[in-house]
Structure 1
Amino acid sequence: MKTSAIYVAAAILFSASIPSLGADKPQVKPMAGPRATILRETPLYVEPDTSSQKVDRVQEGRELVIAESSGPWIRVFANTDVEEVNEKDAPIYGHDTVTPPVSGWIQARGVVRETTPDGDKVLMGEAATMEILAEDARGPRNAGQAARLLYRRLVEFFPNSQLAAEAAWRAADIRWQFQKADAARLPSSKERDAYLREQLDDSELKKIIKLYPHSKQADNAAFEMIDNKLCGDWQGQAKCPEKEADYYEKYASEYPDGPRTAQALYQATYRQAVLGDMYAADGNDKKSDAARNHAKELAGELEKKFPASDYTARAAALVFKCEQGIAVYGSDRE
């Protein structure tokens, strides 16, 4: 998964929710029926006729419950909110404030049901496409959120699919990136100690680890959860990179062959190189030499286990700078 700057822009759009359903819209309690979703934004009508009154618009990836069919039309109960309610954000006393689904008719084109042959592949493909479009400034405004919802529908409709674990991880990752972008705009994001910053909700990541243990998706989730332990701003204090280097080394030890192990080793290498500069600035040559030597050891481990990784090359560049006496941290003070 990518963590590009697009998530920052997308999160701003995402946090500006579409207005809630008005009182004039036919809100009814959902009934039991086949579940489905839709691959395109589509109008919701009072009657199975495009000339009838529009109730609302159903966004891509929203969960639908099919009540009945009439030719090329289906009557559905559709949740048209931008974001689905998270248990953590639910009211303390029940869920009475949750907007109920709205009932109406939609054209059946683009509807994927839980019984659709290869429906899991269709949802995965469309979600992946929307995720790519989220990185394009010309892409749909809610592409990132649509991708997340489509991934979630895959997991819910096709829990036994070989694609379920990856879809669950991608949905959780998109949400995590939205949260990171939101938290980065808060004044507390610059606080040195992690406990003073806005903590990201890691419940979905924990669920990935629980439901898909010893999988690459679980390894990815465990890596992302390190974010909640990191300092906001080191403020020149050695204790931050010291702790963070330990976090990344511990991860690399626990997940020696994981998809993020090379990245974790690089992050640990970088922090050891930084510590070398910090200790040197404090006149502690012994600790400075030890940190730089450890950085070299970690870079050697990367070379041994992941010789073709970009992280290995980046670590080699860090070690070269250390050996050449080039500052990695605070280079503007040279």
Structure 2
Amino acid sequence: MKVVLTSTLIPVGAADLAVFDGLGVDFVTVDGNDGQALLEGTRDADAVIVLVEHITRAVIENMLRCRSITRFGIGVDTVDVESATEHGIWVTNVPDANFREVAVHAIALALAVSRRLPALDDGVRHRGWASSFAPGVHRPDTQVFGLLGLGRIGRRVAVMAKAIGYSVICFDPMITSADASSVGAELVPQGELLARSDVLSLHVPLIDSTRNVIDRAALSAMKEGAVLVNVSRGGLIDEEALVDALRSGHLFGAGLDAFAHEPLEPGSALRELDSVILTPHAAHWSEESWDETLAKVLAEAARVLRGLPPRYPVNRPLERA
């Protein structure tokens, strides 16, 4: 059997591969950013492990015998799940290895923007001091922390925000008021979420219905002086509209860990704004989360190769012809 890792950024040692003992697996790493290498390398793969590489319909239709495609992380927006389902291939992910880290990053960005930490640091570092008297800074006890999405990460953020002192509200069409109340949040309509949130944090996957969910109209509907936080996917936000909302002063600031194009382009106006904190899609990271994710993606591939169902299925593949 052949297991293909499509990223050269993930080191895998002999001890990690012990999960495949008894299967006779040939473990291969290819550069999935090279389209031809991706096609050739996965053609005869029995299992594929993906970091951020695009597993398109063309790649899937070129596969001769693949049984599973496992995402090294949570989001599967770079995998054509529909095509994999049609071709009898499991798509799996690891939804529970880094949600703690992502939640912490969301809170860290929210507080750093709200407390103007970069500006204060810059003042002391370059001028010896900085004025602490700045309009727009408020205590959490008087503010509302809004969550668009109350999944595993959103729930963790809700508990943390509540502990800091924020009142917490959320919008998620997949949950009940009781679900929200269990983590100290109030379930509200989407329009109310935008209008009331002093901090709005995004915790939804990037799918057709959520692409540019924070567009120009949504930004205009947000509370004046609010902070926007995104640790999910860049495609959730119309970045041009966000720049305008920040430049006009309608929003106090933003904390962004994900962008429509990554790495962030040299000409992006987001780079020029002092009211924005930018981090390089790093919310997922800790040494512990990395080790757990690696162990779980390898275990998922091994389970399917042994004829067992995956622990974290994203789809239910059709029977092969």
- Regarding TM over 0.5, the answer is no
Per the shorter chain, which TM-score range?
Answer: under 0.3
For the pair shown, the structure with the greater C-alpha radius of gyration is 1
**How high is the TM-score relative to the length of structure 2?**
0.24
TM-score (norm 1): 0.23
Higher helix residue share: 1
